Amino acid sequence: MTFVRPVFRHPESPKNKLGYTRKFYEGALSTLCAGCGHDSVSGAIIQACFEMAVEPHRVAKLSGIGCSSKTPTYFLANSHGFNSVHGRMPSVATGAYLANRDLMYIGVSGDGDSASIGMGQFVHAIRRNLNITYIIMNNGCYGLTKGQDSATADKGSVNKTGAANMYNAIDMAGLALELGATFIARSFSGDKEQLIPMIKAAMSHPGFALIDVVSPCVTFNNNVGSTKSYDYTREHMEATAAVDFVPMMTEITTEYNEGDAVTVPLHDGSLIHLSKLAKDWDPRDRQSAVNRLYQAKAQGEILTGLIYIDTESRDLHSILHTTEQPLNLVEQHQLCPGSTVLEQINAGLR
Amino acid sequence: MLNDFVIRFANVNGTGSASANTMFAKAIFRMGIPVSPKNIFPSNIQGLPTWYEVRVSEKGYLGRREGIDLMLSVNPQSIPKDIANVKPGGYFLYDSTKDLHKDLLRDDIHFLGVPMMQLCMDKFADPRQRQLLKNMVYVGAIAALIDIEVPVLHQIITEQFKGKEKLITANFEALEMGIQYAKEHFQCPFPHLRVERRDNVGDWILMDGNSACGLGAVYAGATVLAWYPITPSTSLADAFGKYAKKLRVDPHTGKNNYAIVQAEDELAAIGMVIGANWNGARSFTATSGPGISLMSEFLGLAYFAEIPTVLVDVQRGGPSTGMPTRTQQSDLIAAAYASHGDTKQVLLFPSTPAECFEHMTTAFDLAEQLQTPVLVMTDLDLGMNDNMSPPLHWDDNKVYQRGKVLDAEALEKIERFGRYLDVDGDGITYRTIPGTHPTKGSFFTRGTSRDEYATYTEEGPAYVRNMDKLARKWETAKTYVPAPEFYQQEKQSNVGMIFFGTTTYAALEAKDLLEEQGIPLDVMRVKAFPFSDAVKTFIDEHERVFVVEQNRDAQFKSLLINELGTDSSDLYSILNYDGFPITADLIRQKIFKNLVGKLPPPFVPEKIGPPGAESSE
Ligand SMILES: Cc1ncc(C[n+]2csc(CCOP(=O)(O)OP(=O)(O)O)c2C)c(N)n1
Ligand code: SF4
Ligand SMILES: [Mg+2]
């Protein structure tokens, strides 16, 4: 177990706009290994939802299979959750989203889940611009099945058994960029300062928002020689910018130096402030994002932060021209054409 | 022979023959005579032979019948085979623009040549039009030969090309050319093989099962369709789309009260269906055998996590890619026990378009009441052919059965919600839809073992309790699914026959044929799996029971033995698995041989008698 909850809580623990404390956003006690990066990501999700004053029961959390996919049990106890089958969360989330466009969807997956068995579904969910916050807890290995290399393990990276990976890695952020994902970020489970605003921004984005989070597996892939270990990630992390997420209708207090900062307005009125920008990079410009990603790769850096955002994103329902009312609330009298119409149809078949 | 024959059209795929052939069948139907047309088509897009076979049966027998009385041949490629397939005494009507090779001639059938292409070349300028209108020329010739009422054909053409006056005129002309040529060169109509107006179709309709399922899903309140193209189920998804576009667009906003996603594969299709149903929308998919194999893992999840799911399996010839454009009932076991572990799935077996339509609502009601997958098992024969059927029926008082779902108010009254807590003792527990209540009713849906409160557990006893609860639900399901149908008032024989789905047509005809030969049978049509108690009673009450089905391995019989513990020596299989719909004669022969010990006297192939019309060439 990663963290032991303090038994005593201050009676006046801070409440958010809805009057809920952070605890209200927690889930069951984690059963992951102590120190597992995934638990920190759960923590960041809890914090982001708490600070954003999200109604937990208006969130659906979905996952595939893996240690990472277990985490939805450990956050947002008051949300419905769905632990589906290995690699197939995107399709289940797509169906759920089609049924009710009004809920917020958080998808959690692993690198095995999304980059191997579920690659097809991952790719196609992006194509359809499903409105979801899609978090890949990326540890370069299959934690749950005891540490085999995953498709995101870097070539030459050494795992716990001492064997070096022989194959090229799939870069999920790069892939998503190529596929036309409308929001792409990368982060690190050990960097809450960056991860929490990233999650908030992703949740505010109307479309497929990918956060590829390096989330070390302490049990199978945190050794020397691994490129997904805590140490290695800390040493090689390079942020695109410092981020600040400003929820909608909040007064802006921080000041930014002109020239090296941009403010990206999000669909719901929230803003992302990016300061200390990387050179020649604008998150709204796909080409510059591609360049930035390749550059970082060439320099052996792990590029983190917001990589790309399409502020004109049109999500799946808007593509399909679906009614504003959630489909699961459309009533029988709106759905069933009735016997008179059927008689006409019969007549046309004679 | 009057109002009782089989005619086969030998065409080239992709030459527009389908619409002419359909007009032909429809004309006979509108003359009040029962017809049953069947498409026999290849698994390619253009160029290979296709056949369209129409059985005309005044008595209303709609199953396929062997023996072709009249062959219409416009496909040079298949001529030798087509000639060989004509019944002795029958007719071979062909395009005589090119002569038939004399080696192909048979002296026991009649050859009638009409220079269809030549006639069109002389009359029409546009090459594509010539090709299409040639089809109308043969319809005209046949109309004259078998005495189809021409005004009926005119009416159909007018409806078909409504608003396109030029096309109507051209089609009328082509039709007339065929009629005139036949009248001038042959004795018209044939003395025996012909049609005569009757009043034997009542208010029935001609519709393909896939369209009926698609429309049925609209009526059933389906809002999400996720699918992946595969013959023979594709036209089902298309039909849902077509009807939804007409009937499901909100009149005020112009927006769709439905969503259709062509998924990346069948795994995704069924995943979407499960996700949507989990979230409270009625959602379904349509597929065929290969799709069922791919969907298996997810079907197990839906069974175990208890998520309503509706799937239509339009069966084709298996295994593997098998015979994609031929019919079979061979996915039964794969569907009934889809997925690993102890799983059982609810199946429905419609046998007419009217039942396809009705079963879609039944399927959604059952899926939501039982919180489990329901697989509607049709086949290519039903799905892709125009079947004569009672009209589609909808009762405006019908209310969708959404099953045990707790809303916010109900949740308020509950101390502690247990998603898998069997409070009613019927194995069906209460579910909640995401987003219902701020603090009550949320739970974690999972394919892993869990306790009554949906909490993960690997405890043996909790797992067993859950599995037993699912078994209890299966028992409940037996009382929910449609009961079998019997075709006799009371027991009249010690011999029974069981069938389901499209086998019904041939089986009922075989029953009549055997009765004529002094062998009465009691028959039962099964409409659903799990089998209700009535199915077992029927088997127990008969000494010998024939089980008729369209696969090699007697899958349905296996299900009966497996589920009912029936003595297998009482059950005899009658199987057909060549990809063509089973015939009454095959059933009759097998049953006769089994009971009497020898083959029965031959069926129908009565010769057509003295040639009444000779080719003038
Ligand atoms: C169809 C199927 N094949 C294999 C497995 C076994 N399996 C469970 S989790 C897993 C890999 C998980 O890796 P990842 O998604 O990276 O998650 P992590 O445990 O590393 O967080 C595998 C192969 C399975 N559950 N289902
Ligand atoms: S095995 Fe690895 S990924 Fe799984 S819980 Fe342990 S540390 Fe985390
Ligand atoms: Mg992993």
Domain boundaries, chain A: 22-320
Q: What is the pLDDT of residue B614?
A: 39
- Directed axis angle between helix A89-99 and helix A119-127, to 10°? 30
CA dist B616 and A262 (Å) reads: 89
User: In A, residues 21-60, which contact B (CB 8 Å cutoff)?
Assistant: 28, 55-58, 60
A35, exposed or middle or buried, with CB in 10 Å at 0-12, 13-18, 19+? middle
Please name the residues in contact with A95: beta carbons below 8 A apart, sequence gap of 6 or more: B224, B226, B271, B272, B273, B274, B275, B276, B277, B278, B279, B283
Work out the average pLDDT over A267-287: 87
- Range list of H helices, chain A: 37-51, 67-70, 89-99, 111-112, 119-127, 172-179, 192-204, 230-236, 286-298, 316-320, 332-335, 338-347
Residues of chain A positioned with their CB less than 8 A from the CB of B280? 99-100, 328
What's the CA dihedral at A74, A76, A81, A83 to 10 degrees? -20
Residue ranges in chain B modelled with pLDDT below 70: 603-617
CA dist B115 and B508 (Å) reads: 41
User: Which string of DSSP letters, residue by residue, matches B145-159?
Assistant: HHT--HHHHHHHHHH
Q: Class of A22-320 per CATH?
A: alpha beta
Q: What is the pLDDT of residue A8?
A: 59
How distant is the alpha carbon of residue B286 from its chain centre?
Answer: 13
Shortest distance between the Cα of A258 and any Cα of chain B, in A, equals 43
Which of A86, A137, A217 has most ligand 1 atoms within 8 Å of its beta carbon, as the pocket-test mutant? Answer: A86
CA dist A46 and A147 (Å) reads: 27
The mean pLDDT value of chain A amounts to 93
A82 touches chain B (CB under 8 A): yes
| CA atoms B560, B302, A125, A166: torsion sign | negative
**What separation in Å is there between the alpha carbon of A143 and the centre of ligand 2?**
5
Among residues B358, B317, B88, the alpha carbon closest in space to that of B215 is found at: B358
**What separation in Å is there between the alpha carbon of A297 and the centre of ligand 2?**
26
Residues of chain B positioned with their CB less than 8 A from the CB of A179? none
Q: What is the pLDDT of residue A269?
A: 87
A81 touches chain B (CB under 8 A): yes
**H or E stretch covering A74:** none
Whether the Cβ atoms of residue B56 and residue B4 lie closer than 8 Å to each other: yes
B223: nearest CA partner in chain A: A327
Backbone angles phi, psi at A55, to 5 degrees: -75, 110
Strand-pairing partners, residue B261, are B226
End-to-end CA gap in chain A: 69
CB contact under 8 A, A81 and B203: no
A333: nearest CA partner in chain B: B221
Atom of ligand 1 nearest to the CA of A113: 15
| Residue of the CA atom closest to atom 4 of ligand 2 | A143
Q: What is the pLDDT of residue B14?
A: 82
CB contact under 8 A, A88 and B283: no
Neighbours of ion ligand 3 (CB under 5 A): A 110-112, 139
CB contact under 8 A, B271 and A323: no
Atom of ligand 1 nearest to the CA of A109: 15
**What separation in Å is there between the alpha carbon of A37 and the centre of ligand 1?**
17
How distant is the alpha carbon of residue B83 from its chain centre?
Answer: 29
A333 touches chain B (CB under 8 A): no
Looking at the predicted complex, does its ipTM rise above 0.90?
A: yes
A3-54: pLDDT as tens digits: 555 555 566 789 999 999 999 999 999 999 999 999 999 999 999 999 999 9
Shortest distance between the Cα of B44 and any Cα of chain A, in A, equals 27
- Structural domains in chain B plus CATH codes: 4-200 (3.40.920.10), 206-389 (3.40.50.970), 405-480 (no CATH), 485-596 (3.40.50.920)
CA dist B61 and B587 (Å) reads: 14
Whether the Cβ atoms of residue B379 and residue B314 lie closer than 8 Å to each other: yes
| Residue of the CA atom closest to atom 25 of ligand 1 | A86
- Range list of H helices, B279-405: 289-305, 332-336, 353-370, 380-384
Shortest distance between the Cα of A59 and any Cα of chain B, in A, equals 7
Task: Please list every protein residue whose CB sits less than 6 Å from any atom of ligand 2.
Answer: A 32-33, 36, 38, 67, 139, 143-144, 217-220
Please name the residues in contact with B565: beta carbons below 8 A apart, sequence gap of 6 or more: none
Whether the Cβ atoms of residue A64 and residue A91 lie closer than 8 Å to each other: no
CB contact under 8 A, A102 and B435: yes
Task: Please list every protein residue whose CB sits less than 6 Å from any atom of ligand 1.
Answer: A 65-68, 86, 110-113, 137, 139, 141-145, 150
Residues of chain A positioned with their CB less than 8 A from the CB of B203? 346, 350
Q: What is the pLDDT of residue A252?
A: 59
Q: What is the pLDDT of residue A267?
A: 84
Shortest distance between the Cα of B562 and any Cα of chain A, in A, equals 29
Among residues B190, B259, B250, B191, the alpha carbon closest in space to that of B226 is found at: B259
Coil/strand/helix, residue B498: strand
A215 touches chain B (CB under 8 A): no
Count interface pairs A-B at CB distance under 8 A: 221
CA dist A112 and A117 (Å) reads: 7
CA dist B217 and B359 (Å) reads: 9
**H or E stretch covering B138:** helix B127-146
> CB-CB: which of A73, A80, A332 is closest to B221?
A332
> CB-CB: which of A95, A324, A339 is closest to B224?
A95
Please name the residues in contact with A315: beta carbons below 8 A apart, sequence gap of 6 or more: A129, A130, A131, A206, A207
- Other CB atoms within a 10 A radius of the CB of residue B16 amount to 17
A211-270: pLDDT as tens digits: 999 999 999 999 999 999 999 999 999 999 988 898 886 665 666 665 678 888 888 889
| Residue of the CA atom closest to atom 8 of ligand 2 | A36
**What separation in Å is there between the alpha carbon of A1 and the centre of ligand 2?**
11
User: B610 vs B89, B144, B550, CA distance in Å?
Assistant: 8, 19, 38
Residues of chain A positioned with their CB less than 8 A from the CB of B256? 320-323
CA dist B359 and B365 (Å) reads: 9
Residues of chain B positioned with their CB less than 8 A from the CB of A101? none
CB contact under 8 A, A91 and B448: no
| Residue of the CA atom closest to atom 1 of ligand 1 | A86
